Amino acid sequence: MSKTIAVIRGDGIGPEIMNATLRVLDELKVGLQYEFVEAGMAAQEHVGELLPSATLESIARHRVALKGPLTTPIGGGFSSLNVELRKRFDLYANVRPAITVPGTKARYEGIDLITVRENTEGAYGSDGQVLSEDGDMALSQIKVTRRGSERIVRYAFDLARRQGRKKVTVVHKANIMKTTSGLFLKVAREVAAQYPEIQCQEMIVDNTCMQLVMNPHQFDVIVTTNLFGDIISDLCAGLVGGLGLAPGANIGTEAAIFEAVHGSAPDIAGKGIANPCALLLAACQMLGHLGLEPQAERVRNAIRDVVGRKDRVTPDLGGTGNTDSFADALIDSLRADG
What residues make contact with ligand NAD under the rule CB under 6 A? Answer: 13, 17, 69-72, 82, 243-244, 259, 262-268, 274-275, 278, 316
CA–CA–CA angle 129, 133, 135 (5° rounding): 60
Cβ-proximal residue to ligand NAD, closest one: 263
Contact between 326 and 20 under an 8 Å Cβ cutoff? The reply is yes
Q: What is the DSSP string of 126-161?
A: S--EE-STTS--EE---B--HHHHHHHHHHHHHHHH
How many CB atoms lie under 10 A from the CB of residue 321? Answer: 21
Nearest 10 degrees: Cα torsion 292, 294, 299, 302: -170
Q: Which of 26, 158, 206, 311 is catalytic?
A: 206
Query: Quick one: 125 or 315, whose CB is closer to ligand NAD?
Result: 315
* Residue 111: CB minimum distance to ligand NAD, A: 20
Q: Which member of 67, 92, 155, 230 is catalytic?
A: 230
- Annotation says 230 is catalytic: yes
Q: Say whether 67 is catalytic.
A: no
239/268 with CB nearer ligand NAD: 268
CB of 54 vs ligand NAD, minimal distance in Å: 19
For ligand NAD, give the closer residue by CB, 72 or 295.
72
Nearer to ligand NAD, 24 or 188 (CB): 24
Contact between 280 and 326 under an 8 Å Cβ cutoff? The reply is no
Give CA separation, 69 vs 62, 75, 199, in Å: 20, 18, 36
305 is catalytic: no
Distance of alpha carbon 107 from alpha carbon 213, whole angstroms: 9
Q: How far is the CB of 124 from ligand NAD (least distance, A)?
A: 15
Whether residue 220 lies in the annotated active site = no
Least Å from the CB of residue 89 to ligand NAD: 15
State the distance between the two ends of the chain, measured CA to CA, in whole angstroms.
20
Pairing of strands 167-172, 256-260: unpaired
Main-chain dihedrals φ then ψ at residue 123, nearest 5 degrees: -75, -10
Residue tagged active-site, from 173, 220, 305, 316: 173
- Of 266 and 318, nearer to ligand NAD (C-beta) is 266
Give whole-number Cα distances, 218 to 36, 110, 154, 165, 222, in Å.
41, 11, 21, 12, 11
Name the active-site residue from 11, 92, 124, 316.
124
* Nearest distance, CB of residue 246 and ligand NAD, angstroms: 9
Nearer to ligand NAD, 157 or 258 (CB): 258
What is the closest distance, in whole angstroms, from the C-beta atom of residue 260 to ligand NAD in the complex? 6
Active site residues: 124, 173, 206, 230
